[in-house]
Structure 1
Amino acid sequence: MVRGLRVSVLLLAVLGNLAWSFGAKANFNGKLTVEIDGLKNKEGQVCASIFASSEGFPGDRDRVLQKQCTKITDTPLPITFENLKAGSYAVAVFHDQNNDGTLNSNVFGIPREGFGFSRNPEILARAAKFSEAAFLVAGPDTDIQIQLKYF
């Protein structure tokens, strides 16, 4: 009986420490650096949006967690997002060559400007789903690469 009580107390102490350490790690504000490569030219800007769920991904501007557009100065082009909690995210990026703030497409809906998604999923006839582009932010610094595609 005493031995069982000691094992239970020891187990509770270990689990308590694990719960505390996971809780402490989940409280950080992480930084995500997205390296964008494959730019066709340096015209215009690159716009990147980060989503915390599948709702609205990839094009609903009202569901974007953070968005930023950056003038193209270098290739590959780094874009940084700050103050991210631990969790799953997905990023959608496009090369806004004419600086109008939208991903321009033709009458059939095919993009006329470069675009890409986190995890670089294969794109054929539709935009990527959140589950195909999702990645985990689990530390203070996360780096990903996105390769732009042009049709």
Structure 2
Amino acid sequence: MKVMIVEDEMLLAMELESEVEMAGHQVTGLAMSSIQAREQINASKPDFAFVDIHLMDGPTGIDVGRELAAAGIPYVFVSGNIKKIPEGFAGALGAIEKPYTMNGMKNALTYISAIVGGDESESPPASLVLAEDANAGKRFG
């Protein structure tokens, strides 16, 4: 799976990149702003994206998410405050709350990879808040 990472905290972006690659996926690019994210979307055509809400150019991750959804690219938000995600999650599959554990991210990535690949038999991990259950605040796993 080709994965794009939209995160303005370089250390977190690098850790996530490492986790994605260790899971056998390819990172198509890192973006720290909405402008870089738009360039990456058009240049690399990722299969999936992790998107932080607050980027270098402000709280523009939601706009990036909407563009990904419009392009048919599934994504999840990775945020320290998932309450800032609009109702309906702006087309995201769900969200992973910071701080997250590497094990939690690995479990979420396994689930996301299965979903993107068309396998809906996997159970969502506790580290992933699904969009359809966000209003109820439920976590699964």
TM over 0.5: no
More strand by share: 1
Pick the structure with greater CA Rg: 1
Q: Going by fraction, where is helix more abundant, 1 or 2?
A: 2
Q: Which of structures 1 and 2 has the larger relative contact order (alpha carbons within 8 angstroms, sep 6+)?
A: 1
